[in-house]
Amino acid sequence: MNHWGNVLKEKLDTRTARVCIVGMGYVGLSLAVELAKAGLTVRGVDLDLERVSLLNRGESYLVDVAADTLAPLVAAGTLSATTSFEDAGAADAIVICVPTPLRKSKEPDISFILSAVENLLPRLRQGQLMVLESTTFPGTTEEVVQPRIESLGRVIGDDYFLAFSPERVDPGNKRFTTANIPKVVGGVTPTCTELAASLYRHVTSSVFRASSPRVAETAKLLENTFRSVNIALANELAFACRKIGVDPWEVIDAAATKPFGFMPFYPGPGIGGHCIPVDPLYLSWKIRLTGYEAQFIALADQINRNMPEHVVTLVSDALNDRGKAMRGSSVLVMGVTYKPDVNDIRESPSLEIIAMLSHKGARVTYADPFTPQLAIEGGKLTAVTPTPDVLAAADCVLILTNHSSFDYAMIADRASLVVDTRNALKAYRGSRKSIVTL
């Protein structure tokens, strides 16, 4: 390791390194908190002024980051945030944690990465480490970010260090957090890998060194492609079991008793969040450039994206069986976030389902303790409290997100008709014919 590498490694090892994190969402804030808890000084950069203001007051805007954890770090001056990139020049390590959505054409949109890098370039200096954590297509670090840094005359692995380390945040997961999930790091050079590993050793004790950024980038996409494909299999099982009169949930529970060779995945109203609906398509897009079509990924995506329409059909059929048309019927949606007990609606299938129900003439209301208001086409919806009277007044109660705070016994008792896409009313299905499942 040369002079610049030795200087940076000493700062990282002695916890005197200053870290700049670009993007303070689920990934960035969780990482910032763990690094600050380890004793490093962290400066977050985010263009959302409200988010920055909340953070600088020690107020958390994420359910996974407790205010009593955040506030002392802010008070001690080890964690702060700004909307400006100016302080990036003083940082020893820069970590980019910005979103990577899909375009309408289902092609990767790395505009947030490009914007972050372009804003950082005038402020880069010798001896810094830059780590890209944003999920992206294989080759982004070396083909997109590296040439821009080298255009300044920097030599990667000599006087500047670059690596990729995929984020693995699972919002709402109380068992696995940023602090105990192993990190994968892949540097452009071995020195880059070692320095990135030195940074993340302050966050987790388990760091896997990949041979290149491309391996690390692909590993992240494989993780969520694995989940997408298996969720699609569970969703297709739900279709098949409906045809043959078998309960898919019971089938999965039975198969899950096997102690080897099987991992349970469950059907649902669709896929959501910042990873599963997006990451497999980043991989298939990159593969397509070589002339090969990743058919398995495409099929899984098609099955999963058909689920919202299937759910709307279930609601329509269930109402019709009771002599009611969709148009004019009241549908109470329980839960709009993409998974239980988080305040994240990104890519949530609930949004599409609500839009489809509304377009078919249903009068839609919703309950969700994590989403007080919901923007829809033509205006906004405000969450209602699912009281016994509210449940009884609905022509159909549609469970899309199984938040732990919902009173499922009361739903089963008071609702005249329930379409349950999450098996939340499993305990009540045997005694009530008014519960419809996937």
Q: Write the single-letter amino acid at 193.
A: T
- Residue 430 pLDDT > 80: no
pLDDT recorded at residue 406: 98
What the block records as the tokens of 3 is: 């002079």
Q: Give all strands of the β-sheet with 363-367 in edge-to-edge order.
A: 363-367, 330-334, 396-399, 418-420, 435-437
Within 13 Å and on the Cβ side, how many CA atoms surround 218?
A: 11
Of the pLDDT bands very low, low, confident and very high (cuts 50, 70, 90), residue 429 is confident
Q: At which residue do the structure tokens 């060194």 appear? A: 209
* pLDDT at position 144: 98
Q: What pLDDT digit, counting tens, does each position of 301-334 carry?
A: 999 999 999 999 999 999 999 999 999 999 999 9
* CATH, domain range 3-211: 3.40.50.720
**pLDDT for res 274:** 87
pLDDT of residue 245: 94
Domain boundaries, the chain: 3-211, 229-437
pLDDT for the residue 86: 95
pLDDT of 433 above 90: no
Residue 258's pLDDT band (cuts 50, 70, 90): very high
Mean pLDDT of 415-420: 97
Return the beta strands (E) in 351-438 as ranges: 363-367, 373-376, 379-382, 396-399, 418-420, 435-437
Residue appearing with tokens 């208001």: 373
Interval 336-340 mean pLDDT: 97
Q: Does residue 431 have a pLDDT over 90?
A: no
What is the structure's pLDDT at 205?
86
CATH fold, domain 229-437, is: Rossmann fold (3.40.50)
Local structure of residue 186 (DSSP, 8 states): E
- Which tens digits make up the pLDDT trace of 265-302? 999 999 999 899 999 999 999 999 999 999 999 999 99
Q: What is the pLDDT of residue 163?
A: 98
Tell me what pLDDT residue 240 has.
Answer: 96
Q: Are 190 and 164 in contact (CB under 8 A)?
A: no
Question: Which residue type sits at 30?
Answer: S
- Integer-rounded Cα Rg, in Å, for the chain is 24
- Amino acid identity of residue 421, one-letter, is T
State the pTM of this model. 0.94
Q: Mean pLDDT, to the nearest integer, of 64-76? A: 96
Model pLDDT, residue 189: 98
Residues 158-176: what's their mean pLDDT?
94
- Between residues 22 and 174, the one the model is more confident about: 22
pLDDT in tens, 21-49: 999 999 999 999 999 999 999 999 999 99
Q: Do domains 3-211 and 229-437 have the same CATH topology?
A: yes
The average confidence (pLDDT) of the chain is: 96
pLDDT of residue 227: 97
> What was the pLDDT predicted at 80?
98
Active site residues: 275
pLDDT of amino acid 379: 86
Calculate mean pLDDT across residues 144-165: 97
